[in-house]
Structure 1
Amino acid sequence: MFRFISILLIGLGGYWVLQNRFRVVNMILGNRMIRRFFVSSFMSLPFVRNQMMKTVFSSPDQAVQ
């Protein structure tokens, strides 16, 4: 019985987060420390960093695809 209630509550929580996902993301990223952690973690990935640098520092005549 406890397992069924746990699964039901996890499902309802997941549904609520899915319905309010943009509000949840804005709330999480509104915190400066959490936002800094996510950005530094994301930029530590080499393929992301290389693509970002390529996009930011490309010349205007080159189209980014």
Structure 2
Amino acid sequence: MLKRLLSILFFSAAGYVVFQNRYKVMNMILGNAMLRRIAVTSMMGIPGVRSRMMRTVFSGPSEFN
């Protein structure tokens, strides 16, 4: 019981710290070529993200130009 409570507390604290430093974490991940490749590959594996990205990249001329 105590071990489980400590695990929950630890992961909550770690999640809070990562959330507070999320832009630094993203810069660290995207600054490394290998981690960037893994991040992009995994994000493109999500169907909703992939379709939205393809629609944005390969859409016609924007009406806001």
TM-score normalised by structure 1 residue count: 0.70
CA gap 1:53/1:38 in 2 versus in 1, 3 angstroms: farther
RMSD (Å) for aligned C-alpha atoms: 2.3
Confirm or deny: 8 A CA contact 1:42 1:48 kept in the other structure: no
Q: Report the counterpart of residue 23 of structure 1 in structure 2.
A: 24
5+ residue gaps, structure 2: none
The CA deviation at 1:37 is 3.2
Count of paired positions: 60
The amino acid that maps onto 1:52 is V
Q: TM-score if structure 2 supplies the norm length? A: 0.70
The answer for unaligned runs of 5 or more in structure 1 is none
* Identical-pair percentage: 40
Larger gyration radius, structure 1 or structure 2: 1
